[in-house]
Each structure stands twice: as C-alpha cells, then as structure tokens.
Amino acid sequence: MGREVRLLARLDFARTIGCHRFLDHERSLYAGRHRALLDGRRAIQARRGGRLCDQTLPEPVSRDRASAAGIRDRASRAPGGPGARVGVPWLMVTALANGRLWGWRARDWADVQECQMSAAYRTILAKLALHPGQSLLDVGCGAGMFATMASERGLLVSGIDASDALLAIARERAPSADFRVGDLEDLPFPGGSFDAVTGFNAYQFATNPVAALSTAGRAAKRGAPVVVVIWGRHEAGDAAAVVAALAPLLAGSRTTSPQADALTQEGGLRRFAEDAGLVAPFEVGDVNTEWSYPSLATAVRGLNSAGSARSAADRTSEDIVTRAHEAALRPYVKVDGTVRLSAVFQYIIARAP
C-alpha cells in the first residue's frame, strides 16, 4: 500500500505543477538512480548468466540504497529469489506523465499524424526482412500503425507505450498483438525474447535514452537487429521548422531528454548505440518522407495531437497553439488547398550483444 500512496502523491504533484515541469523535475531527480539501477541490473544478469525473471522488488529503492551493491542485495531477497528482475515503481512515473501528453488527442494522432511516418515504417520493415512467425517488439508503439503493418506480414508483434488511449487504438488495429503500458527503461519482457526491436521517435522521450536503448538490446535475441528512428538534422526538411514553431510557447521547457539533441548530430546515432552496448554491424541512413494533408485544418489537427502541443497548450492555450501551427503551415499550402511538406528521419540498425 505504501508504494501506491507514494506513486499517487507524485502524480498529484505532477498535476499541481504542470506536466512539463514535472518531467524536468523527474529527470533531474532520478538520473542518478537510473544509472545505479541499471548498473545493478547488469551486475545481477552477469552473475546469473544474463537471466531475467518476472518478479519485482517488494518496495522502491530508497535514495540512500540506490547503489549497485544495495540493489544486488535486495534483488537476492526479492520474490522469486536471486536473479529476480529489478523493477521499481517510480520508473513508471515518467511513462504516466508522457501518457498524458501523448494521449490527449489519441484519435487525431492515429487518424492524421501517425501515418505521416509510413514511409519510414515501410523502409525499416523492408530492411529487417523478417519472416512470418518471427517476433518483433515496437518500443513507443503509439497507436500501433507500424505494429499493424508488421502483424499483417505474419510477425508476432508486441508493443509498449506510455499512453493507454493510444494503446486502445493499437489493440483495435492489431488485435493479435501484445500491447502493454510501460516505461522504456523497464521493459516488461524477459531477456532475449525478440527477433527484432524497433523504436520510432521514442528513445528521446526517455528520462535516460541510453538506459532505454540498453534495455531494448537486452530484450532482443543475441545478434538480433535493434532499430532507432529519430528526426534528421534540424536543418533538414520542412517539417522540422513547423515543429519548431512551438519552441517560443514552451519557454525553454522540453518534452524530450536533454540528451536528445546529440542524437541528431553527425555520428550521434552510432555513439548512442555504442553507449547502450549495442554492437556492429551498424547501418545508418536517412528516410525522406512527405507529410501530406487534405487541408490546413486537418494538418493542424494532426500537429495539435502531439505531446509537444499538449505541453505548449498547458503553458498557454490550445487556441494559441493552433494559431502557431497555422502560421507555420501556411507556406506549405498548395493551390488546391492541400498541405505538403518534406520531412527527413534518420535511422540506425545495430545488433544486440
């Protein structure tokens, strides 16, 4: 009961100060705890032959015990015995906050915006060349468009996301898939479970992106592909300028990790994969896409459904966010009233160790 009370208290705190400030607070407060937790998990896995089990610690790790030695000691006494999976309730708090940001216009995201990534989805599916019956985990799966495309190819698909609302749509689209609410840094799957793990614009929203990608690598089978797809360089593509239109409204606050900017720099994805413990061969490339909408109003609906738009609306108002998006999109309105703009994404395909 104590854990639930503490978690509810933190969520009340989030509602009081605003989701954007809460995320900044959590990232600062828990960055050290994430590092200690992951060091402990690696030590446990090394000692137990890399095995992960399904049990969690009976209570959260306190500030003075967040050390590798303390975590190892408590894991040995966790339900399930030595080697049990270390899972701490406060890891879910960031996921719950992101769920609020990304779930506020779930249907608009699913119907309008998620499909703008379809070219990237098709590219990655083609490069993975998985066969029917193989397993795939999509991290930050959103409303499940990529998961649905993979499921239609006969793959056994699992997905994890912070938003219940988005996952409800994903389950409608791909009823045979296994979708779960969870946190990127603490995936609820045993090690070595998947033939491939993908993440589309996901890891930059983790409190600790390197820890999240490292966890994804452990969920994959040895040598299996682990894919990261993120925005291309900020100067590449029209869409980056449109998304940046909300920056003045966010007033320095951010919905992504402070580490996210480095990922889009030259060599950033390769360094990211190496820091997370993934191994060669590495394949790095770009995907050029076109965002296309039948009208300006539809384009605004799509962009207003993003988590950054919710964060900006929290600070200002939804009407102000709408006007900012309308102004940014007007240069891309064509004579027939449609809206078309270029977008560039970059990807890396690495291998699980």
Helix (H/G/I), strand (E/B), else coil: 328: helix
Question: Can you say whether the dihedral through the CA atoms of 138, 246, 339, 109 is positive or negative?
Answer: positive
- 145 within 8 A of 159, measured Cβ to Cβ: no
pLDDT at 226 over 60: yes
**Phi and psi, residue 245, nearest 5°:** -65, -20
Q: What is the pLDDT of residue 1?
A: 44
Q: Which residues contact 264 (CB under 8 A, 6 or more apart)?
A: 230, 231, 232, 233, 234, 346
Task: Render 193-229 in DSSP notation, one character per residue.
Answer: -BSEEEEES-GGGSSSHHHHHHHHHHHBPTT-EEEEE
* Per-residue pLDDT reduced to its tens digit, 241-261: 899 899 999 876 666 666 777
Per DSSP bridges, beta strands 196-200 and 135-139 are parallel
**Phi and psi, residue 291, nearest 5°:** -85, 125
Average pLDDT over residues 318-325: 97
pLDDT at 54 over 60: no
Helix (H/G/I), strand (E/B), else coil: 106: helix
Per DSSP bridges, beta strands 225-231 and 339-351 are antiparallel
- Burial class of 79 by CB neighbour count within 10 A (0 to 12, 13 to 18, 19+): exposed
Per DSSP bridges, beta strands 279-293 and 339-351 are antiparallel
* Per-residue pLDDT reduced to its tens digit, 121-145: 999 999 999 999 999 999 999 999 9
Q: What is the pLDDT of residue 263?
A: 81
Per DSSP bridges, beta strands 339-351 and 196-200 are unpaired
Which residues are bridge partners to 345 per DSSP?
231, 287
Average pLDDT over residues 177-191: 94
pLDDT at 59 over 60: no
What pTM does this model have? 0.74
Q: What is the pLDDT of residue 266?
A: 85
Using alpha carbons, select from 288, 308, 299 the residue that is nearest to residue 334.
299
**Phi and psi, residue 316, nearest 5°:** -125, -100
**Residue for token digits 């599916």?**
125
Using alpha carbons, select from 121, 225, 213 the residue that is nearest to residue 173.
121
Token readout for 177 is 């898939």
Q: What is the pLDDT of residue 264?
A: 76
pLDDT at 12 over 60: no
Average pLDDT over residues 37-51: 45
Q: Helices marked H in 197-331 — which ranges?
A: 209-219, 238-243, 247-250, 260-263, 268-275, 296-304, 307-315, 318-329
Q: Which residues contact 266 (CB under 8 A, 6 or more apart)?
A: none
**Residue for token digits 């965002």?**
291
Task: Render 41-68 in DSSP notation, one character per residue.
Answer: HHHHHHHTTT---S---SSPPPGGG-SH
How wide is the angle at C-alpha 181 spanned by C-alphas 101 and 37, nearest 5°?
A: 95
